[in-house]
Amino acid sequence: MRKTKNKINAQTITEVERAISELRRGQIIAVKTKAGSGLLVASPENLHPETYQKLVRLAENGLFLAITANRARIIGGKAKVSTHLSLIKIDKKLSRALLEEIAAARQDMADFGALMQNALSSNDPAIISAINLAKQAELLPALIIAKVRNPEAIAKKNDFLAVTPENIDSYGKSEIVDLSEVSNAPLKLEHAPNARIISFRPALGGKEHHAIIVGKIDKSGVVPVRIHSSCYTGDLLASLRCDCRDQLHDAIKYFARIGGGVVVYLMQEGRGIGLVNKLRTYKMQYEQGFDTVDANKFLGFDEDERPFGLAAEILKKIGVKKISLMTNNPKKISEMERLGIKVYSYIQAPTETHEHVRKYLKTKSRRMQHMIKI
């Protein structure tokens, strides 16, 4: 496998992280392209009235709401939706109040379905990058955009931050390489008194991820491994609506019983959409009957937004390249193989079946191809 080199530099990191902060603060950012044109974008999720009015004034050809094809398909009624982004013209029908409804991810939006009838399809790379920036900010992937000429000059005059699509994309991909070990400590767990936790930080900053080594592992052999994404509601609060806590603790118990193994603990809440967005999907599942896949797509996300390159890099950092993977998710197996970690076998992750989690497990089995028998 040819390894992708990480060419991101400090200036790019600073530019994109500032852009993420500006979006989260409800501010306008400029996305500039090499052709000299570009976009002004803002998130409807935390849009200040004065910011919205400024966008209205600066827009040369009006404002549009950009949403993903996933979201358009679910809330667009009978409108035909392409595989690209959908752009909806913001006019008097699409008021700022309705934008707030969209940002709040409420289901009852009959007016929005009607507006979708005249939506435009777009595969503009700059808009796609801007939507990816919103995802990196753990905001909803929906943006108010204005196409403009010379966005850099507009940004300078109005004190907006300007960012390029190339830098956004580089930032999004760079996290899979250049991890540094920042902490290594012994850990005594209830079911594994002989454990150690090693923390890793991406060179560009951001969230730390961890390797929990249970017992002793033979790095020259096939090492039992569980790749586990953080779940605040399950791991910490013992939610009955998912099987995350059971899988985490069962993996630790199993590794302790057989003498050793590794839990790679990734800070990728909600299959990569962030805690707040995950809680939004919970509301739709509890109150509106969505399953976990459609709830993600209603918000505009894919069913699974997680990059597993982080897990592969952590395993390489601790010297593990051959594994027996504890999982029910075939994507983890194929991704490890693609990223240079040889998966010699897989161990089925135990699942606790009860009335609160049954629908969730059935969805993972039927719609996400997880290897679960319900």
Query: Considering 73, 226, 280, 306, which one is annotated as catalytic?
Result: 306
The pLDDT tens digits for 66-113 are 989 888 887 765 556 667 888 888 876 666 666 666 666 665 555 666
pLDDT of residue 3: 42
Residue found by looking up tokens 């090693």 in the block:
198
H-run or E-run covering 278: helix 275-288
The domain over range 175-268+306-367 is classified in CATH as 3.40.50.2000: no
Please tell me if the domain spanning 10-171 has the same topology as the one spanning 175-268+306-367. Answer: no
pLDDT tens-digit readout, 260-303 = 999 999 999 999 999 999 999 998 888 888 888 888 988 999 99
Say if residues 243 and 257 touch (Cβ distance below 8 Å): no
CA–chain centroid gap for 48, Å, is 25
pLDDT for the residue numbered 291 = 87
Report pLDDT for 338.
92
Q: Exposed, middle or buried: residue 232 (CB in 10 Å: 0-12, 13-18, 19+)? A: middle
- Tell me if residue 367 is catalytic: no
Model pLDDT, residue 47: 83
Q: Which residues contact 151 (CB under 8 A, 6 or more apart)?
A: 30, 31, 32, 37, 38, 39, 40, 162
Please check whether residue 245 is in contact with residue 234, taking contact to mean a CB–CB distance below 8 angstroms: yes
Identify the band that residue 347 occupies on the pLDDT scale cut at 50, 70 and 90: confident
Q: Which of 146-150, 194-198, 204-208 has the lowest mean pLDDT?
A: 204-208
| pLDDT for 98 | 66
Is 304 assigned a catalytic role? yes
CA distances from 129 to 126, 141, 271 (A): 5, 11, 20
Q: Give the C-alpha separation, 193 to 327, whole Å.
A: 24
Q: Can you give the residue ranges of every domain in the chain?
A: 10-171, 175-268+306-367
| Annotated catalytic residue, options 241, 304, 366, 367 | 304
Half-sphere exposure of 4 (CA within 13 A, CB side): 13
- What is the distance between the alpha carbons of residues 283 and 104, in angstroms, rounded to a whole number? 11
Dihedral, 144, 147, 152, 153 alpha carbons, nearest 10? -110
How do residues 19-66 score in pLDDT, each as one tens digit? 999 999 999 999 998 888 899 999 988 888 889 889 989 998 889 989
pLDDT per residue as tens digits for the range 223-252 = 999 999 999 999 999 988 888 899 999 999
Per-residue model confidence (pLDDT) at position 178:
77
Would you say domain 10-171 falls under CATH 3.50.50.60?
no
What value does the mean pLDDT of the chain take? 86
- In this predicted model, what pLDDT tens digit does every residue of 126-178 receive, in sequence order? 999 999 999 999 999 999 999 999 999 999 999 999 999 999 988 877 655 67
Q: 170 and 7 in contact (C-beta within 8 Å)? A: yes
CA–CA gap between residue 44 and residue 196 (Å, rounded)? 44
Structure tokens at 277: 């967005």
